[in-house]
Amino acid sequence: MSSERTTAVIGASAEEARAKVGREEAAAALEERTRSHVRTRVVRTVGLIAALGVLVVCIGLSVSVGAKPIPLSTVWDALWNNDGSYDHSVIFELRVPRAVLGVFVGAALGLAGALMQGLTRNPLAEPGILGVNSGAAAAVVFAIYVFGVTSPSSYVWFAFLGAAVASVAVYALGSRGRSQATPVRLALAGTAIAAVLQGLVYTVIALDDFVFDRIRFWQVGSLVGRDLELFLRVWPFLLAGMVIALALAPALNTIALGDDLASALGARLNRTRTLAALAIVLLCGSATATAGPIWFVGLTVPHIARAIVGPDQRWLLPYSAVLAAILLTAADTLGRVVLPNGELEVGIITALVGAPVFIALVRRKRMAQL
């Protein structure tokens, strides 16, 4: 009897020892995961701060580089002591507005693209490819042609309406038939609707010289001739769209798990989609009314940001905003110096950069489906 009791005691002690070892291993694993999360958060935060530093450099170059180069020392002096000289007037009346609009329009397009890709789980989603920018642009041209609208503050309302109608039309066309609204179907529907809208725009331009004069630079996507008054008119819409987009990041992470699991976890899918659609319309409408239809920024930048920080929308959205602002500001600066006696519009530069990325994504998507 005593030997059985001894064996039981030894077995219990061994079981307790194994349980203790298991608890220690679990605690060590949890501590390691916590440290890994902290390191990841620190690295991402440092990376975002570094990106903001690059953005500041791009803004400085945007203000100093142009047909007449202006030293950074003069730019710095103008910021604190504007004496009304020619250089200072060029800085405040021409280049500072372009830099400010480049930052906010780029951030709006980057956020809209990341938001569309996260909401639809479609790597090809982008305001230009899905026809949202073309819808906003067509509505602005229609407003100029039919109603004689010339104020940028009035452009905004028509741009919002056009962006919303185009979004609904693309989704309806892409989801017709027995198949679901796959990424390729949506991209094809968006491209088709964008082509139709562009054809209508070019028809109006050919028929009316007044419309042509009003939008010939705006139509290709440009920051030329914009002033701070225009920014002051659209910034509330840009800010509202950005705040809504960033606030939706946790909900987008849940939606990425799939509708059924997201619903089981308590996600409010209809509310999230409605707010996301509102943010996209605000961002795209404001950006298009300000700078015209600029393609591929919303497509290219979120993929770059995703390669850096992964799919977590809490980091992907702010990274997309900052990187897109860098891209648009740098593209606008590059367009001023690439031609000896003129400049390329920023929309042309972004198309040259983004079109190869779009082709590569489509090819990769088709290969994955084979």
Ordered by where they begin, the domains of the chain are 69-369 (1.10.3470.10)
Buried b (16+ CB within 10 A) or exposed e, 211-245: beebbeebbbbbbeebeeebbebbbebbeebbebb
What phi and psi, each to the nearest 5 degrees, are found at residue 65? -100, 140
Q: What is the pLDDT along the chain (370 residues), one digit of tens a residue?
A: 456 555 555 555 656 656 665 666 666 666 667 777 788 889 999 999 999 999 999 999 999 987 788 888 888 888 788 777 888 888 888 889 899 999 999 999 999 999 989 888 878 778 877 788 888 888 888 888 888 887 766 777 888 888 888 888 887 887 776 656 666 677 788 888 888 988 888 888 888 777 777 777 667 788 887 778 878 888 898 999 999 999 999 999 888 877 778 778 777 878 888 888 889 888 988 888 888 888 889 988 999 999 899 899 999 999 999 999 999 999 999 988 887 677 888 888 888 887 787 777 667 655 454 4
* Pair of tokens at residue 230: 């225009």
Give the integer Cα–Cα distance in Å for 47 and 35: 18
The first and second tokens of residue 52, run together, are: 């903001």
CB 107 within 8 A of CB 279: no
DSSP string, 182-239: -HHHHHHHHHHHHHHHHHHHHHHHHH-HHHHHHHTTTTT---TT--HHHHHHHHHHHH
Q: What is the pTM of this model?
A: 0.83
Say which residue the tokens 């009304």 belong to: 84
What's the CA dihedral at 337, 340, 343, 348 to 10 degrees? -80
Q: Considering only CA atoms, which of 197, 206, 215 is closest in space to residue 144?
A: 215
Residue 343 sits at the vertex; the CA angle it makes with 342 and 349, to the nearest 5 degrees, is 155
- Residues 272 and 97: beta-carbon distance below 8 Å: no
Which one-letter amino acid corresponds to residue 232?
A: L
